[in-house]
Amino acid sequence: MLVVPARLHRWPPEVQDLFGREGPLVLEIGFGDGRFTAELARSRPDWLVLGAEVSAASVLRALRRMRREGLTNVRLYHGQGPFALRNLVLPGTLDQVIVNFPDPWPKKRHQERRLLREAFFRRLSTRLKPGGSLLLTTDHEEYFRFALEEAERTGLYRVEVRPPPEAHLRTKYALKWKEAGRAFFHAAFIKLREDPAPWPPLRRYDVAHALLSGELPQDLALEKTAVRLKEGVAVFLEVARGKEGFYVLTHVEEEDLTQDLLLEVRKSARGVYAGVSRFGSPLITEAVKGAVRALVDRLEAHGLEVVQDHT
């Protein structure tokens, strides 16, 4: 199992269950094509390297690289780094986090999208071992200074500015920026203390559906409808009519997790079913339940009545 499925039976998994053995655990956020990941895994075969990457194409390239090189101490996760940190890493078990050339989001209005903000550093402290560290390498000086300030604001880290290790300058972007003559910046954020606020894994549910009495409406005008949820936002993108009812393509965004899923409204033996389709095996989270609840509200507006609610 080189690629970690999001639908693990247990969150977070034991290191032994994820890798088949014990060892120092390292998380790389944004591994790109995996060349640094592979070099790290080769040079430190005793380490266990968990990588997180949002680009599906990059995950595929990295997966091929790991298989080609026969590396067994690497696990890849397709998704956001904070999600992996929260749900795939047990508290106090992480030796190191590596972030090479993160997106700096240079525009002022986009800075809340930056990874290395105070809230992230606080949550990271709950997963690092005492003395564990985050290593940052970047070519963006303003973001580098921003990250230093955000970490220092927590009072949880000792920050050491160092020359970048050579291995960190052999990534795809490092080679590109080196050729362009850019300067590089590197720092180690070493955990001294832990934030007292708990950061439990994301809660998951088995089902998200409702049964209603009444007749299926002739039409569901939901396209491009955005619904604000307590946990995030849901957008009903498209509605398709089938033989038994409606299929609603839905985009759900919540903290560190984005999913596109199908909701369905169809006739059943006990009335009208409204809930999550099994297609794609989405994670049933609070936000997904909220999206189903919003769909049920629309059906109630059409005169249907809820007789069983699992939203």
Residues catalogued as catalytic? 103
260 annotated to a ligand binding site: no
Please give the Cα distance from 271 to 304 (Å, whole number).
Answer: 10
103 annotated to a ligand binding site: yes
Give the phi and the psi of residue 130 in degrees, each rounded to 5. -55, 130
Structure tokens at 221: 């005008």
256 annotated to a ligand binding site: no
Give the phi and the psi of residue 122 in degrees, each rounded to 5. -65, -45
Task: Tell me the DSSP string of 223-239.
Answer: TTEEEE-SSEEEEEEEE
> Hey, which bits of the chain come out as E strands?
25-29, 48-53, 74-78, 94-100, 128-138, 157-162, 185-191, 209-213, 225-228, 232-241, 245-254, 257-268, 271-276, 305-310
219 annotated to a ligand binding site: no
Structure tokens at 42: 């080769």
95 annotated to a ligand binding site: no
Binding-site residues from annotation for substrate:
107, 139
Annotated binding site: 28, 53, 103, 107, 139
Q: Which residues are annotated binding-site positions for S-adenosyl-L-methionine?
A: 28, 53, 103
